[in-house]
Amino acid sequence: MSTVVIAGGAGEIGRALAHAYAADGSNVHVVDRSDAAEAVAADVGGTAHIVDTSDPASAAVFGGIGEIDTLINAVGVWPTLSVDELVPEKWVSLARINFDSGYHAVWGSRAGLRATQGSVVNIASAIALKGHARMVHYAAAKAGVIGMTRSLALALGPDGVRVNAVAPGLVATERNLSVWTPEQRAEFRATRALPIDLTVNDVVDSIRFLSSSAARAITGQTIVVDGGTVLH
């Protein structure tokens, strides 16, 4: 039985990943600062760890899990803020969540990943490639995630550990669908090479591919899952 650890496992993508891996028979660990991780873990017969991964001390939680076949870093928050609103204190706080948390997880998991020659998949963002006037903090942090992914692939590759990333575009999550108007959805589709809505499953399927043996020769790469928005 493989062990899959999902940091940010109480979010919508994290929940979908937990159910998908559990359906495959994996032992799923759900890591999140929200108590909702308990319910997600209970639903899939997994284990919950309530911890703030932006805190360096969280690395100890990952180190205590043992052997890890797949680590997924799905932690992220993306409030829209103007440059004037993005005061230095908010910049530091958001960077800890969107960037530092991923390194804390990998660092804490390194022994467990080496033991299995496992795989890491980080969730970046297509915004890291395009930029966004009101998400400077998020674009910068996720660009950092892409650079970290490449560098960790080089650092851990000699131990047989693969490190990749998925960079989603704007996904039609339950929350987004509840607030988007039909006109907004049409506008989003118009920015893409493919006239489609991006679903949670589109992201989940890409992550599962990168963590699978089908991607055994792929490391240090970022798959952009945005329907072609970055081409515009």
- Contact indicator for 3, 25 with CB cutoff of 8 Å: no
What are the tens digits of pLDDT across the range 195-215? 888 999 999 999 999 999 999
Give the DSSP letter of residue 8.
T
What are the tens digits of pLDDT across the range 15-47? 999 999 999 999 999 999 999 999 999 999 999
* Distance, C-alpha 167 to centroid of its chain: 9
**Residue 29 pairs with which residues in a beta bridge?**
5, 47
Look at 15-19, 178-182, 191-195 and tell me which has the smallest mean pLDDT: 178-182
Q: Where are the alpha helices (DSSP H) in the chain?
A: 12-23, 36-44, 59-63, 88-95, 101-116, 127-130, 136-156, 174-179, 182-190, 200-211
| 179, pLDDT greater than 90 | no
Which of 41, 147, 51 lies closest to 105, judged by CA? 51
Q: What value does the mean pLDDT of the chain take?
A: 95
Q: What pLDDT does 66 receive?
A: 98
Q: What pLDDT does 183 receive?
A: 81
| 188, pLDDT greater than 80 | no
Active site members: 138
- The CATH fold assigned to 3-169+199-223 is Rossmann fold (3.40.50)
- pLDDT tier for residue 186 given thresholds of 50, 70 and 90: confident
Give the DSSP letter of residue 192.
S
| 232, pLDDT greater than 80 | no
Q: What are phi and psi of 76, to 5 degrees?
A: 180, 145
Q: Per-residue pLDDT averaged across 180-187, rounded?
A: 78
Q: Considering only residues 219 and 173, tell me which one the structure prediction assigns the higher pLDDT.
A: 219
What are the tens digits of pLDDT across the range 70-111? 999 999 999 999 999 999 999 999 999 999 999 999 999 999
Q: Considering only residues 25 and 189, tell me which one the structure prediction assigns the higher pLDDT.
A: 25
DSSP string, 23-65: HTT-EEEEEESSTHHHHHHHHHT-EEEE--TTSGGGHHHHHTT
What are the tens digits of pLDDT across the range 112-163? 999 999 999 999 999 999 999 999 999 999 999 999 999 999 999 999 999 9
**Domain definitions of the chain by residue range:** 3-169+199-223
Q: Considering only residues 204 and 170, tell me which one the structure prediction assigns the higher pLDDT.
A: 204
